[in-house]
Chain A
């Protein structure tokens, strides 16, 4: 389903959490909402989930007001909270009934879903005994239970261990073919894996909205990453003075060499190195910055 967010503004007493935020998510698209702490991610997500009221603007799902389309939405709060006296099975059964699923349906679906999120063995344990990660899994299960067309998740994998993260990411990959997903996160490697598109939010403003490729392209450096033996470090001082080398930066165990025209200059540099009998351990062309670096560049 197509989600339209039109000019959302939300003010709290001291600050404006979301400022004139607009975006459109097409059906079956998976969008990652990223931003530093306090950027307004959760506020925006809560407005979309119809928990908070926006001061201005509206949110439409397939042209309808979102408050009328609640059966199509699956929502996972940042810290899912459940009735501690219910078992995992009862929780899902309760939530499912509220979404209008029949008893028969629930009996069938719940065990399968619990298995999928890795709570199969804990189905009849009380939620009160669950750890944070287990609650998160249960929260994901309840968001998926009624097969919503739109899933909104606030930090779905932040509280999970690596195994849980893998399971949940696989689960999301599985459903994303037929579901529109909006998730907020600050763990970029996870978002990178399932989202095609990223929206960066900072201080309530949308500062970037691009697909992963666009983002990486835009912040693509014409630089060469190389690693050489310690003995050859003196060579670096000689190349520093070459006309086509703009700048040398040390980076991890190696060096980043910024040049003007990547391919030609790389060739010349490599030749120069071989002539000087330098042993290259690594020679990488055109460093693609990771999403994390792009993110840092954007928000800091």
Chain B
């Protein structure tokens, strides 16, 4: 436990020194702001950009409801640019220390592999949750101001579901980071796989149950309909199991010293 705390403290200090603790929240706040502001000014933008001849702008169409805006923040900002940025920010999570020998060096100390992996994943997950929450809160505020207000309990529930998906994202990138040695490749393969997961979500109810990206889909549907179905909890359990499986694979990989 003591080593876990020491490693976690080291991760946090490292994030501070690398300014990750500054720029990642800023990026997410900007992402969160973009969606409501862009949607609010969309009619004006279209107008000023010209090319309106032949296009009829229906004022009632151009003004969506607040919950729609918030939902689109999740699935068109955070789930696209957000995942790319997150994958790039976490791609070196284990690969970096693997490449410079720090991981092997740390493990010559009485440190268990699980406290090493857990400290990495938990701290990075923590940072991601903080960033998403900040960005989401910004989006929530602007949406309520520019469009209609969204019930706070629904917004919060949606965030919780989204964070489950986020845990999968972080663990998956960490697993890729354990396996591969090229950081660009890690980012690329993570982004591709996560996008495929995200696009598959909603295709078929059966796939949805085992697809961790469904959590993101559920988050948006909670926002849009306000209902939480029983099926959603099942997906959380499946995602949790997948995360545990990935941690076990990483543990095995590092403990067997295949790096």
Contacts and interface: CB of A to CB of B under 8 A. Distances in A.
Specify whether A and B are partners: yes
Interface of A: 46, 49-53, 70-71, 73, 75, 77, 79-83, 85-86, 94-95, 97-100
A51 B3 contact: no
B17 interface: yes
19 contacts: A49-B108, A51-B107, A51-B108, A70-B108, A70-B110, A73-B108, A81-B100, A81-B105, A83-B10, A85-B17, A94-B6, A95-B109, A97-B2, A97-B6, A98-B7, A98-B109, A98-B111, A99-B109, A99-B110
Nearest to B3: A98
Contacts of A51: 104, 107-108, 257
A94 B10 contact: yes
Given A94-B6, A100-B2, A83 B102 contact: yes
Interface string B3-17: 100110010011001
A100 B257 CA distance: 23
Contact of A50 (B6, B18, B100, B108): B108
Nearest to B17: A85
B204 interface: no
Contacts of B110: 70-71, 98-100
B6 A77 contact: no
Interface size class of B (residues with CB under 8 A): 20 to 34
Nearest to B258: A53
Interface of B: 2-3, 6-7, 10, 13-14, 17-18, 100-102, 104-111, 256-257
Nearest to B101: A81
A80 B106 CA distance: 11
Given A75-B108, A97-B2, A85 B14 contact: yes
A4 B100 CA distance: 30
A77 B257 contact: no
A59 to B, nearest CB: 13
Contacts of B7: 98
Given A52-B257, A53-B257, A98 B14 contact: no
Contacts of A53: 256-257
Nearest to A69: B110
Nearest to A73: B108
Contacts of A46: 104
A73 B110 CA distance: 9
Contacts of A98: 3, 6-7, 106, 109-111
A107 to B, nearest CB: 15
Contacts of B105: 75, 77, 80-81
Q: Can you list the 10 inter-chain pairs with the closest CB atoms, starting with the nearest?
A: A98-B109, A70-B110, A97-B6, A85-B17, A51-B104, A71-B110, A75-B108, A53-B257, A81-B100, A81-B101
A274 B77 CA distance: 100
Contacts of A85: 13-14, 17-18
Contact of B14 (A70, A71, A75, A83): A83
A97 B8 CA distance: 12
A83 B18 CA distance: 12
A98 to B, nearest CB: 4
B112 to A, nearest CB: 10
Contacts of A79: 101
Max chain A CB contacts within 10 Å: which of B10, B109, B256?
B109
Contacts of A71: 109-110
Contacts of B18: 85
Contacts of B14: 83, 85
A49 B111 CA distance: 13
Nearest to B102: A81
Nearest to A102: B2
Contacts of B2: 97, 100
Contacts of B102: 81-83
Contacts of B109: 70-71, 95, 98-99
Given A51-B108, A82-B102, 14 more contacts: A50-B107, A52-B257, A70-B110, A75-B105, A75-B108, A80-B105, A81-B102, A83-B10, A85-B17, A98-B6, A98-B7, A98-B109, A99-B110, A100-B3
A51 B2 CA distance: 22
B161 to A, nearest CB: 36
Nearest to B257: A53
B117 to A, nearest CB: 15
Nearest to A74: B108
Nearest to B99: A81
Max chain B CB contacts within 10 Å: which of A71, A75, A77, A83?
A83
Nearest to B18: A85
A108 B79 CA distance: 50
A49 B106 CA distance: 11
A65 B67 CA distance: 60
A268 B7 CA distance: 74
A100 B14 CA distance: 21
Contacts of A75: 105, 108
A98 B256 CA distance: 21
Max chain A CB contacts within 10 Å: which of B3, B6, B111?
B6
Contacts of B6: 94, 97-98
